Structure 1
Amino acid sequence: MEIIVTNNKGVRTLKLNRPAVFNSFNQQMAFALHKELDAAEQDATVRAIVLIGEGKAFCAGQDLAEVTDPNGPDLPSIVKDHYNPIIERIRNIEKPVIGAVNGVAAGAGANIALACDMTIAKKSAAFIQAFSKIGLIPDSAGTFFLPRIIGFQKAAALMMTGDKVSADEAVSLNMIYKAVEDDIFETEVYALAEKLAQMPTKGLGLTKRALNASLTNNLTQQLAVEGELQTIAGQTYDFNEGVNAFLEKRAPVFKGE
């Protein structure tokens, strides 16, 4: 079982499960993750998603044994069919996706973590743009997100040198949301996930849609997007519940509708 799936309090956890190879991806695990992300998107009871790794690592990127297998997929297919759909699913699922980096996140593993809505890492974890070490370029949207997050020069340096970035440094660079002590890591991850799962899911999803649009829109275009999405948000059950709860001076009970 390449992906371990668990559910609790509206949170679905998808755990990468190839610990013997530091959760590096092969075709089977990539396709299994596609399937589970689709299932989480379609299940109305799922209101937040946690992506985490089994064992000591989050994800070491591509399993090179597959790349060098003469009967395995070639590099263009791996990028196009394995990784690109993962990134697109993470960004287009209109529910919060938390990257829970429990250990090293290297290569595609690092960039998958950066594509999540919020990334929390153990203090002992690290991020590595490892592609240059084997003569490749960063994929999995690394060249799209990382320069926008930390700036062009710093992104270029990390991609070209392959230097390791600690979790604390990743926070200081605004690469990730938070780094926490190892012994409270899962407590912090699930406290955030459960909080998000109790919030107005439709509104959070529309916020995510607006953020995605902002990556390519100019100001005028983005203002138009905000107007369109605010109209949709104003028609949700949770908007009415939030307004009524405010007027009635009580805590809202959102349904994600």
Structure 2
Amino acid sequence: MLRKDIGWSQKELATKIYVNNSQISRLESGETTNINIDMIISLAKLYHVSTDYLLGLTKISVPKSYDITELGLSEEAVKRLILRTIDVDVLNKLLEHKQFPKLCSLIRNYFDNTIADGIMARNELINLATEPLTELMSAEPEKRAEIIKDLSFLNSTKLAPNEADIEKIKSLLLAIIRDIKSEIAMKQPSSAVATTEAIQGIRDALPDKPQSELTIDDVSIAVAAYVGTVIPMNETSTALLQKLSKKIIEKSDAQK
């Protein structure tokens, strides 16, 4: 149960969606079958899930539609996703990899020169260590060959400002790509992004007439009919779902 997963009491949930505690209690116990449409929408927004998920239409909790600005993507990035100029399956696999957040953090450090300043300070310490050796070479010429060897070793340990960043990024990126390659070899698909079963079920329930003649009522009745084949519903629940479907479709049309 989403409420318990978050750790809210029934009273806390009721306060958040502005209903009586008793309504939440009756809803969770199954005593209430006639669920208010506005309550379903409020719960979906509060839990950041889709109304379809709350109604049992899908196992995918993430809403199918988001305000694109919530993703923080640039206009060009959105265009590439929509126009499929990038391989979305590869992108999914990268984003889903458990080490991808760490890779992004390393790249951010590289862009911000977070580690570069420390590398520069380290190189300065090496310079300080080589100065006495240079002076010693002048004072004791007989040790010149040995001192040159030591100087060469110390200087070889210096790093370019971003060299460490780049090596870490390369190493982690290659490790991620190898993991993805293994998944592809085992034919493991990316996590589900949608299911066609519900869509096909709704289409089958639509009346047999041209698409241009289909009404919002036709679609909402078809949605309720499909859900009725998946989960048991009485007449009240069916009527409620039809109303909810109609309201969602009308809202979607109004936003176009």
TM-score (norm 2): 0.18
Larger Rg: 2
